[in-house]
Amino acid sequence: MAEQELKRPVPSSNALTEPFWEATKQHKLVVQYCEGCDQLVWYPREICPGCWTMEGIEWREVSGKGRLHTFTVIRQAADLWFQQRVPYVYGVVELDEGPRMISGIQCEVEDAVCDMPVEAVFEDLDDDWTIVQFKPAS
Amino acid sequence: MERVSDRSIRGAAAITGFAEIKPERRKPGRTAVGLAAELAKNCVEDAGLTKDQVNGLITHIPYSHNIEFAEYLGLKPVWSHSVDQMGGSGATSLTVAAAAVATGLADNVLVIVCSSQWGGFGGGTEPSPDGHGAQYVRAHGPGPGANYEYAQIAMRYQHLYNLSDEDRVAIAVQQRENAQANPDAVFYGQPATADDILNSRMVADPLRLLECVMPCIGGAAVIVSAADETDYSPNPPVYLLGAGCATDRGVPGLSYAPDMTISPVKVSAERAFATAGLTPQDMDIAQIYDCYTIAIICEFEDAGFAPKGEGGQWFASHDVTYKGELPVNTHGGQLSFGQAGSGGGMSHVVEGVRQMMGRGEARQAHKDLNYAFINNNGGGLSVEASLVLGKGVD
């Protein structure tokens, strides 16, 4: 097979989620907030799953601190770029403010433990995309 | 207990026949609709019907809609439906078919769930380019299939409860023994010990390769008729006594579930048992979706067969082979039988019916069977369909 440069898969966005991806570019983590429910909502949606308001939703910055709710060590990847990087940690982070987010975890495979404190780390993939991941809290 | 409506599906419908295609890794030259057509022909014949008597159709066929498939088959159903509840499609289809015959929308409903080399789950639609997976998952490298989802459930489960590796794979060992009595099982002729399973390579910690289903090509079908109109069949009818379906966490559900180790089986099984007027302890046999070891442990507990956190130990300390007191997954389970996409879930439905009809041959349960429990699961414990089947309606 011809040698070719593999690229890490990048996310996508739409009109609704543009503010989230604009924030990550500035290395900020924002999630939706419903004023009526006084609840943070992740992932972004056009309706509050609590009270069904379609108007009272705004973006709020969160601390980026949380705990590693659960994880696995991916030893067999689907994507070609990731296949060259196994094994790596992939998990679910519970933010201190409540919501849970799916994320890559930047730590050694043997260091990952459920409920360990983590903090957000921003990775600029290219000019268009910055993703948020998590690493053990310093 | 959650209130179940006074309107009841209990005893309204019966299964009169079934068909299954042996799951295999590859079936060169076979198309999904071709497999589905073979299932249709064999199932209708098994039930003692003719083509013209089938006037209801439910399908879950990759890249094929029921409307398209009805024409392919030369059927003109008066009622038809495509069901897509991921891995839960088989058992869910049973509830939909039962509702149709109970209300007179159709008389004899043919239910077909199968996979093909083009895919096993769903109608073949691509994920939305700006959907959840594309925006929030893809860039983190989740890995193939559902390995990563169930591995994360297992990791959290083992953080909360005391579950040893040996107890986690105990059910897989016993199912492998069941598969040794089933020539159609993909692992027939290949017995395995707990050590064999725990020595297979790690795929997604803590799950090993032999704790994950093998994707296959195959499928299964049943005929559902109104309970009081089954005289046409040479088979003893198997009645639907209870049913419950539930979803509470989306896909990938585990991330957003209040407790990812407690599945919606809690709701679906409770509704199924309440409808049937029976309890888990009344069940003579159970066929429970086992895409991964951890999945069946959670479902088994949440259905009420073992206390939460003790499912693995329960399997390790009870004989759940076809020789035991509560046989579980007598066909080998999907882990040893193979997973023909959503047809994997349907294999549990068909095995339950087969056992209740006394057609289990070498793997027929060594006890009288009056009641069977069936559970299908999909989307990382996010959608569940539970059935209680009976030999009669009291």
Choosing among A6, A39, A92, A102, which should be mutated to test the B contact, i.e. which has the most B CBs within 10 A? Answer: A102
- Other beta carbons within 10 angstroms of residue A24's beta carbon come to 20
Q: What is the mean pLDDT of residues B333-337?
A: 98
Q: Which of B126, B132, B137, B148 to mutate to test the interface with A (most CBs of A within 10 A)?
A: B148
Q: What's the rounded Cα separation, in Å, for the pair B394 and B390?
A: 9
Using CA atoms, how far residue A100 sits from A31, A97, A103, B6, B322, in Å, is 11, 9, 10, 38, 42
pTM (2 decimals)? 0.96
Say whether residue A84 is in contact with chain B using an 8 A CB cutoff.
no
Closest Cα in chain B to A45: B132
Cβ contact B139–A129 (<8 Å): yes
* B371-393: pLDDT as tens digits: 999 999 999 999 999 999 999 99
Mean of pLDDT values over B344-372: 98
* A63 interfacial to chain B (CB closer than 8 Å): no
What number of other Cβ atoms are within 10 A of residue A50's Cβ? 12
Residue B119 has what pLDDT? 63
pLDDT at B112 > cutoff 70: yes
pLDDT at position B144, please?
86
pLDDT at B51: 97
Could you read off the pLDDT of B74-106 as tens digits, one per residue? 999 999 999 999 999 999 999 999 999 999 999
- Write down the residue that tokens 């009809």 correspond to: B357
Q: For position B131, what pLDDT does the model report?
A: 86
CB-based contact, A125 to chain B, within 8 Å: yes
**Which whole number is the average pLDDT over A99-107?**
97
Residue B281 carries which DSSP code?
G
Provide the edge-to-edge strand list for the sheet that holds B371-378: B79-82, B56-60, B108-114, B217-226, B13-24, B238-247, B383-390, B371-378, B285-288
d(CA A73, CA B152) in angstroms, rounded, equals 9
Determine the pLDDT at residue B70. Answer: 96
From chain A, pick out residues whose CB is under 8 angstroms from the CB of B203: 75-76
For B160-206, write each residue's pLDDT tens digit: 999 999 999 999 999 999 999 999 999 999 999 999 999 999 999 99
Show residues of chain B in contact with A91, CB under 8 Å: 152
- Whether residue A73 and residue B136 make contact (CB cut-off 8 A), yes or no, is no
pLDDT, residue B67, reads 93
Question: In A, which residues are within 8 Å of B146 by CB distance?
Answer: none
Is the CB of A66 inside 8 Å of chain B's CB atoms? no
Min Cα separation A1/chain B (Å): 22
Q: Is residue B72 pLDDT above 70, yes or no?
A: yes
- Please indicate whether, in this complex, the C-beta atoms of B141 and A85 are within 8 angstroms of each other: yes
Answer yes or no: is pLDDT of B127 > 90.
no
Inter-chain touch B136–A104, beta carbons under 8 Å? no
pLDDT value at B342 more than 60: yes
The per-residue pLDDT for B267 is 97
Question: Tokens standing for B226?
Answer: 């109104």
Predicted local confidence at residue B122, as pLDDT:
56
Beta strand spans in chain B (E): 13-24, 56-60, 79-82, 108-114, 202-204, 207-208, 217-226, 238-247, 285-288, 371-378, 383-390
Flag whether pLDDT at B44 surpasses 90.
Answer: yes
Q: How far apart are CA B270 and CA B244, in angstroms?
A: 7
**Partner residue facing B148 (CB), from A74, A81, A114:** A74
CA of B249: which chain A residue's CA is closest?
A49
Q: First vs last Cα of chain B: how many Å apart?
A: 23
- Contact yes or no for A114 and B155 at CB 8 A: yes
Mutate to test the interface with A, among B255, B259, B292, B294 (most CBs of A within 10 A): B255
- Extract the tokens encoding B339: 């997973």
Q: Which residues of B touch A85 (CB under 8 A)?
A: 141
Mean pLDDT on B153-165? 97
φ/ψ of B200, rounded to 5, equals: -70, 160
**Nearest-CA residue of chain B relative to A42?**
B256
Which residues in chain A are contacts of B147 at CB distance < 8 A? 72, 76
> Radius of gyration (Cα) for chain A, nearest Å?
16
Q: Does pLDDT of B150 surpass 60?
A: yes
The Cα–Cα gap between B383 and B289 comes to 12
With cut-offs at 50, 70 and 90, classify the pLDDT of residue A20.
very high
Question: What is the pLDDT confidence band of residue B394, given thresholds at 50, 70 and 90?
Answer: confident
Q: Which of A12, A77, A92 sits opposite B255 (nearest CB)?
A: A92
Q: What is the share, in percent, of chain B residues with pLDDT greater than 70?
A: 96
Give long-range contacts, CB 8 A cutoff, 24+ apart: A135-138. Answer: A135/A105, A135/A106, A135/A107, A136/A107, A136/A111, A137/A65
pLDDT of residue A1 exceeding 70, the answer is no
E-strand ranges in B93-216 read 108-114, 202-204, 207-208
CA-derived radius of gyration, chain B: 19
> Looking at this predicted complex, what is its ipTM?
0.95
Please write the tens of the pLDDT for every residue from A53-70.
999 899 999 999 999 999
Helices B293-302 and B147-160 meet at what angle, rounded to 10?
60
Query: What is the Cβ-side half-sphere exposure of residue B390, based on CA atoms within 13 angstroms?
Result: 21
Return the percentage of chain B with pLDDT > 90, whole number: 87
Mean predicted lDDT score pLDDT of chain A: 95
Contact B217, B26 (CB under 8 A): yes
- B103 near B228, Cβ under 8 Å? no
Give Cα separations from B47 to A56, B105, B108, B201, B203 (angstroms). 56, 20, 10, 43, 42
Chain A: nearest CA to B183, how far in angstroms? 30
**Chain A partners of B204 at a C-beta cutoff of 8 Å?**
72-76
pLDDT higher than threshold 60 for residue B123: no
Cβ B143–A90 below 8 Å, yes or no? yes
Q: Work out the end-to-end distance of chain A between its first and last CA atoms, rounded to an integer number of angstroms.
A: 43
Residue A74 and residue A109: Cα distance in Å, rounded? 9
SS3 for B340-373 is CCCHHHHHHHHHHHHHHCCCCHHHCCCCCCCEEE
**B351-365 average pLDDT score:** 98
Of A2-6, B23-27, B134-138, least confident by mean pLDDT is: A2-6
Q: What percent of chain A has pLDDT over 90?
A: 93
Confidence at residue A31, expressed as pLDDT on a 0 to 100 scale: 98
Per-residue pLDDT, A4 = 66
Phi/psi region, residue A61 (left: phi>0; alpha: psi -120 to 50; beta: rest), is: beta
A72:B205 CB<8 A: yes
Number of neighbouring beta carbons within 10 Å of residue B122: 17
What's residue B190's pLDDT? 98
Residue B257 has pLDDT above 70, yes or no: yes
Confidence at residue B221, expressed as pLDDT on a 0 to 100 scale: 98
**Which among B76, B74, B387 is positioned nearest to B238, based on CA atoms?**
B387
Instruction: Please indicate if any CB of chain B lies within 8 Å of the CB of A12.
Output: yes
